[in-house]
Amino acid sequence: MTAEPLEQETSEASSHAQDREPAVNASDDFIRRLPKAELHIHIEGSFEPELMFEIARRNGVRIPYDSVEAVRAAYEFEDLQSFLDIYYQGMGVLLEERDFYDLTMAYLRRVSGDGVVHAEIFFDPQGHTERGVAFETVLNGICNALRDGERQLGITSRLIMCFLRHLDEDDALRTLDQAMPFRDRIAGVGLDSSEVGHPPRKFQRAFARAREAGFRAVAHAGEEGPPAYVEEALDLLRVARIDHGNRALESMALVRRLAAERIPLTVCPLSNLKLCVVTDLREHPLTRMLDAGLMATVNSDDPAYFGGYVLDNFVAARDALGLSAEDIVTLARNSITASWADAGRKERWLAGIDAIASEPAD
């Protein structure tokens, strides 16, 4: 990779769908068959309205909507905050261990037919503990489902505990203390919720302590926040991946660094469309990221709210951006490479991708 073509590619704001080589078609079935890791999925964001009603009923909790259709109709967002308000309201019906189990199991069942072989799942403990639900209740429900999901569906997983960045760092530190007895069940820490006005530097101590305790680190950055937030996540929080990272493209120096250091970006096309990070999927920066040599991956973020699981995100991005079969294979390979799965499994999945990619076209 050289600096010049990279500069040329990334400085252009327009869609690249038209400029790219004619795509060798990647069918839906081709994409489905490729082993894929999902690296950016908030488990509370996979809460489908049908399950929400069922759990609300059994817990005796009122939902301010009359029907599943009315809930779905409320999913019109103008930015991240307008989504988060509804997202926190939705998770308010989750009270018992069984609720977290059912939520997690429903996600795993839903994606197992889509070729997801490994999932790295975010959860928001503070969204539950602040309502009086015990940390252990949340963790047990999710982890029991992850264990059964691996046994029954063959999907391996890692769990990532996110700090809510609109709360203060002391709250994050208390949450980290609560997680310490369960270090073996939580692979990493993340940072989510309202980005602008809550820069990564606010959580430097919490991330330092988490890393000292052996947690890996990731952070949402550059979804709505500026490129400087991506730099802070790298330099101050020392994250291994950036969640979203769209606005990193505004800084040429940062793009070069992300490419040189092979920092994975967990990109979420349908989320970006629903939260108005892009106004049209044809303008989504995914192709510019690939053209710049960045290790981009495709993910669903909050699939129940944004209208699609990971396969839907691949298909929507292919259609809007004219992604070729080669692009799709790169994205699937990146998802495996950027994951924290066991090395032996990663090698087997990558070999599986290569075998599918080299099948003769019919």
Q: Which positions from 78 through 107 interact with ligand HPA, judged by CB under 6 A?
A: 80, 87
> Which of 48, 99, 192, 283 touches ligand HPA by CB under 6 A?
192
330 binds, among Zn ion, ligand HPA, none (CB under 5 to 8 A by kind): none
Q: Which positions from 278 through 317 interact with ligand HPA, judged by CB under 6 A?
A: 301-302
Which has the closest alpha carbon to 139: 161, 167, 110? 161
CB 99 within 8 A of CB 55: yes
Q: Which of 120, 223, 224, 283 is catalytic?
A: 223
Query: How many other CB atoms are there within 10 angstroms of residue 187's CB atom?
Result: 18
Residue number, nearest CB to ligand HPA: 192
Q: How far is the CB of 85 from ligand HPA (least distance, A)?
A: 11
Lookup: tokens for 100? 């977290």
Residue 241 is a binding residue for ligand HPA (CB under 6 A) = no
Compute the residue count for the chain.
Answer: 362
Q: How far is the CB of 42 from ligand HPA (least distance, A)?
A: 4
99 binds, among Zn ion, ligand HPA, none (CB under 5 to 8 A by kind): none
Distances (CA, A) of 350 to 108, 293, 308, 324: 21, 19, 25, 18
C-beta of 40 vs 333, nearer to ligand HPA: 40
SS3 213: coil
Lookup: tokens for 251? 């800084």
C-beta of 83 vs 101, nearer to ligand HPA: 83
Q: Exposed, middle or buried by CB within 10 Å (0-12, 13-18, 19+), for 151?
A: exposed
| Spatial distance between the Cα atoms of 153 and 336, rounded to a whole number of angstroms | 18
Q: DSSP assignment of 184-206, as one string?
A: GG--EEEEES--TT--GGGGHHH
Q: How far is the CB of 323 from ligand HPA (least distance, A)?
A: 22
Q: What is the per-residue burial (b if ≥16 Cβ within 10 Å, else e) of 200-235?
A: bebbbebbebbbeeebbbbbbbbbbbbbbbbbbbbe
| Spatial distance between the Cα atoms of 19 and 8, rounded to a whole number of angstroms | 13
Q: What angle do CA 182, 188, 192 make, to 5 degrees?
A: 115
> Which of 45, 200, 222, 293 touches ligand HPA by CB under 6 A?
45
Residue 42 is a binding residue for ligand HPA (CB under 6 A) = yes
Our answer to whether residue 48 is catalytic in this structure is: no
Q: How far is the CB of 7 from ligand HPA (least distance, A)?
A: 29
Distances (CA, A) of 35 to 23, 58, 203, 341: 21, 37, 35, 13
C-beta of 120 vs 192, nearer to ligand HPA: 192
Residue 271 is a binding residue for ligand HPA (CB under 6 A) = yes
223 binds, among Zn ion, ligand HPA, none (CB under 5 to 8 A by kind): ligand HPA
Query: How many other CB atoms are there within 10 angstroms of residue 154's CB atom?
Result: 11
Q: How far is the CB of 145 from ligand HPA (least distance, A)?
A: 19
C-beta of 270 vs 323, nearer to ligand HPA: 270
Q: How far is the CB of 87 from ligand HPA (least distance, A)?
A: 6
Query: How many other CB atoms are there within 10 angstroms of residue 72's CB atom?
Result: 15
C-beta of 232 vs 301, nearer to ligand HPA: 301
Residues that bind Zn ion (CB under 5 A): 301
Catalytic residue numbers, as ranges: 223
Residues that bind ligand HPA (CB under 6 A): 42, 45, 80, 87, 192-193, 220, 223, 271, 301-302
